[in-house]
Structure formats: C-alpha cells, structure tokens
Amino acid sequence: MNFGGEIISSRQNRTVVELCKLADKKARESQQSFRFDGVKLFEEAVKKGVEIPLVALRASSAEGLRARLCERLGRDAFLEVDRVLLLSDELFDKISEEKSPEGIISIAKYIDKFQKNVTIYNSADFLSMKNERIVLLESVRDPANIGAIIRSAAAIGVDRLIISDDCADIYNPRAVRASMGTLFDQHIDRVADLPCAIRGLRESGRRVFAAALTDEAVRLGSFTVQKGDCVVIGNEGHGLTDQTVNACDGSVIIPMTARAESFNAAVAAAILMWEFIGQN
C-alpha cells in the first residue's frame, strides 16, 4: 500500500503554486475549486460525495493517514481521488493553514448541486420551497461567522440559507473550517437583491422578520413563531440595511442585559434560528 512517486519539496512546483493560489477568492472562482486542511474535513467531504481532484499529504504522515482513514471510512478514499501529491514535511507545514497540521490538504470542486448564484425573487420561485425552512443573511462579512452560521443551520435543521452577494465567500478556507464539514451539503443561494427575494417570500405566503432594533421591534419569545416564518440576520457591525428591514413584515430583537451592546453575529444567528426553526 505504498504511495511511491516523487516527494515534492519545492514551493515553485506548479501544482503547489496552484494549490496555494486557492487562498484567493479570484483564483477559487477561476478554477471553480477550493481548498481545505485536515482529516475531519476530508472525511466529511468523502462521506458527502464532494468531488476531490487532488490531495496533498505530508510525506512522513501519508501511510498513517491512509490506514486511519481506511479504518474510519471502510475503504481507501485516496483511490477515489484523481491525484495524490506527496510533499516534504517542511514544505507541507509551510503551506498548511492549520496551526497544528494533520498532514492532509484537499482541493475540491465547487458544490454546484447545493450552492448557487440564483435569481429567486417572485412567489412562484418560493412556492417550490414551501416545505423548506429558510433563513436569510445580509452582508455577513467575516468568513468564520459565515462558517459558524452554516454549522448552526445544519445542526438546527435549516433547509436553505439565502445570502446577499456581498456576504463572505463560503469557500474561504476560514469559512470551510468553521463549518466543520456542514458546508458540503447545505443548500445556499446567493442573490443580488435580497429585499426583492424577501418580497417574493412574503408573496408566497410566508412572514419574514428582520433581526433589527427598530421602534416597532418585538422581543424574541414574546410572540408566536408560525411554521414557515423566516428571519433575516445582518452585518456584524451595521446590522441590516433600511431597504431590507422595510421589505420585511416586522422586526425582532433578542433580549439581553445592558452589560453588552450586541451578540456576536454567529451567536445571534444561532439563537434566532433556534427560535424560528428549531422549535417548529
């Protein structure tokens, strides 16, 4: 079960260069590919059928990783990868994005089955999603927050996230890592006009609430959430735009003490998703 082949030690190797470029969004979009580090993410990607054209392994860890993954997955997943690259330990540790590298970096193709740039603005679009539990995000810019929200959405049972096109890239390595593999099968639609999508949801018969401090905002827990209700969560610092708030049925706030000004966006999202989705 030896890998064989050359052990690459040069940072200038063409494949290594292309792998490193995937830290940049433009390169990811050009190649329609993204990278992630670590055993857990590779294992989850394999389980969920993500297309993985290449893995790079730390040479000294390769055989141990193969045996470990064979035991956990019940098969040799490396045989399903188009190309396995062996890197010298020094080179691997230099290009890994983990503080304590586990010895594997994967390149995967964009998950077009689940994640798309779409135009869903009228009620007809949303009627086909009538049984789905939907949450919306506007201008959430921190990749780690996006990843954490995706993870919470999967845990709570959100079927679809609809996000504005200025949200952080879901394929940013920090987002992928924070999602802990839940990204690989979460439906996510990125839209150019979020207020228009909200109006479409409302026309399809749903209520949509903005998580925003307005004069008319009601406290979470003080009203009955109905099946099909949606919530919109905004930017870490500035919240939701007026256009988005005005497109909604009303506003909701999370009760909190005076000791803090706000919740972290990912924490707030988890609370709101639980109230709107987890109990319905």
User: Quick one: 152 and 261 in the same domain?
Assistant: yes
Q: Among the three residues 54, 75, 109, which one is the final residue of a domain in this structure?
A: 109
Query: From the first residue on, what is the mean pLDDT of each consecutive set of 10 residues in the chain (280 residues)?
Result: 76 95 95 96 95 95 92 92 94 92 95 79 78 95 96 96 96 96 95 94 94 84 89 90 96 84 86 85
CA trace torsion 237, 142, 110, 58 (10° rounding): 180
Domain assignment present for residue 77? The answer is yes
Domain with residue 87: its CATH number is 3.30.1330.30
Residue 143, number of CB atoms within 10 A of its CB: 22
Are 142 and 239 members of one domain?
Answer: yes
- Using the 3D structure, point to which of 109, 128, 151 is the last residue of a domain: 109
Task: Order the strands of the 208-211 sheet from edge to edge.
Answer: 115-117, 187-191, 160-164, 134-137, 230-233, 208-211, 250-253, 218-219
Going 149 to 151 to 157 to 160, the CA torsion angle's sign is positive
Among 198, 196, 148, CA closest to 168: 148
Which letter does DSSP use for residue 280 in this model? Answer: -
- Domain final residue pick, 55, 90, 109: 109
Give the pLDDT of residue 274.
94
Residues 214, 139, 184, 114: what is their CA dihedral angle, to the nearest 10 degrees?
90
pLDDT value at residue 96: 94
Does the residue 130 lie in any domain? Answer: yes
Residue 147 within any structural domain of the chain? yes
Which amino acid is present at 128?
A: S
What range does the domain containing 204 cover? Answer: 115-278
pLDDT at 49: 94
Task: Tell me phi and psi for residue 262, to 5 degrees.
Answer: -165, 170
Residue that the structure tokens 């740039």 belong to: 117
pLDDT at residue 263 in the model: 79
User: In this predicted structure, what is the pLDDT of residue 249?
Assistant: 95
Q: How many domains does the chain have?
A: 2
- Return the pLDDT at 260: 74
If asked whether residues 98 and 192 sit together in one domain, one would say no
Based on the domain organization, do 147 and 225 belong to the same domain? yes
**Are 86 and 176 contained in the same domain?**
no
| 140 shares its domain with 264 | yes
8 Å CB contact between 7 and 61: no
* pLDDT of amino acid 1: 44
